[in-house]
A and B are shown apart, each in its own frame.
Chain A
Amino acid sequence: MYSFHYIEAKSLKEAGDLLAANPDAKLLAGGMTLIPTMKARLAQPSPLVDIAGLGELTGIELGDGKLVIGAATKHHDVATSGVVKKAIPALARLAGLIGDPQVRNLGTLGGSVANNDPAADYPAAVLALGATVITTRREIAAEDYFQGMFATALEPGEIVVRLSFPIPRRAAYAKFPHPASGYAMAGVFIAGTANGVRVAVTGAGPGVFRWPDAEAALAKNMNPAALDALVVAADDLNEDLHAPREYRAHLVKVMAQRAAAAL
Chain B
Amino acid sequence: MTTIEVTVNGVNYSREVEDRMLLVNLLRDELGLTGTHIGCDTSQCGCCTVHVDGRAVKSCSMLAAQANGAEIVTIEGMARNGALHPIQQAFTECHGLQCGFCTPGMIMAVAGLLKDNPDPSDEEIVHGLEGNLCRCTGYINIVKAVKRGAELLCGNGDKSSRR
Q: Which residues of A contact B129 (CB under 8 A)?
A: 101
The segment from A32-40, A157-165, A246-254 that touches chain B is A32-40
Contact of B57 among A3, A5, A6, A106 (CB under 8 A): A106
Asked whether B20 lies within 8 Å of A2 as measured between CB atoms, the reply is yes
The segment from B37-45, B94-102, B155-163 that touches chain A is B37-45
Bound-complex Cα distance A40 to B61 (A): 12
Q: Which residues of A contact B116 (CB under 8 A)?
A: 80
| Interface residue? A180 (CB, 8 A) | yes
Asked whether A102 lies within 8 Å of B65 as measured between CB atoms, the reply is no
| Interface residue? A144 (CB, 8 A) | no
Q: Which residues of B contact A40 (CB under 8 A)?
A: 42
Q: List B residues 14-46 near A (Cβ within 8 Å).
A: 18-20, 22, 41-44, 46
Q: Which residue of A lies closest to B56 (CB)?
A: A102
Bound-complex Cα distance A102 to B41 (A): 14
Q: Which residue of A lies closest to B46 (CB)?
A: A102
B104, chain A: closest CB distance, angstroms:
14
Q: Chain A 26-60, CB within 8 Å of chain B: the 1/0 string?
A: 00100110011001100000001010100000000
Asked whether A102 lies within 8 Å of B49 as measured between CB atoms, the reply is yes
| Interface residue? A206 (CB, 8 A) | no
Asked whether A106 lies within 8 Å of B62 as measured between CB atoms, the reply is yes
| Interface residue? A70 (CB, 8 A) | no
| Interface residue? A99 (CB, 8 A) | yes
A100, chain B: closest CB distance, angstroms:
3
A-B contact count (CB 8 A): 78
Asked whether A3 lies within 8 Å of B109 as measured between CB atoms, the reply is no
Q: Which residues of A contact B58 (CB under 8 A)?
A: 102-103
Bound-complex Cα distance A39 to B61 (A): 9
| Interface residue? A182 (CB, 8 A) | yes
Q: Which residues of A contact B63 (CB under 8 A)?
A: 6, 28, 31, 35, 48
| Interface residue? A225 (CB, 8 A) | no
| Interface residue? A139 (CB, 8 A) | no
| Interface residue? B68 (CB, 8 A) | yes
Q: Which residue of B lies closest to A100 (CB)?
A: B131
Q: Which residues of A contact B66 (CB under 8 A)?
A: 28, 31, 50, 52
Bound-complex Cα distance A189 to B96 (A): 38
Bound-complex Cα distance A100 to B113 (A): 11
Bound-complex Cα distance A105 to B131 (A): 11
Q: A31-B62, A99-B131, A182-B130 are in contact. Are A105 and B42 (CB under 8 A)?
A: no
Bound-complex Cα distance A8 to B42 (A): 24
Return 17 A-B CB contacts under 8 Å, by A number. A3-B18, A6-B63, A8-B68, A31-B66, A36-B42, A39-B22, A99-B131, A100-B130, A100-B131, A101-B129, A101-B130, A102-B58, A103-B43, A105-B112, A106-B57, A106-B62, A180-B44
Residues on B lying within 8 angstroms of A by beta carbon are 2, 18-20, 22, 41-44, 46, 49, 55-58, 61-63, 65-66, 68, 109, 112-113, 116, 128-132
The 8 A-B pairs with the shortest beta carbon distances in the complex, nearest first, are A100-B131, A6-B19, A105-B55, A100-B130, A102-B131, A102-B58, A6-B65, A1-B20
Q: A1-B20, A6-B20, A99-B131 are in contact. List 20 more A-B contacts (CB 8 A).
A: A3-B20, A6-B63, A31-B63, A31-B66, A32-B61, A35-B63, A36-B43, A39-B61, A76-B55, A80-B116, A100-B46, A100-B130, A101-B112, A102-B56, A102-B58, A102-B131, A103-B58, A105-B112, A106-B57, A106-B62
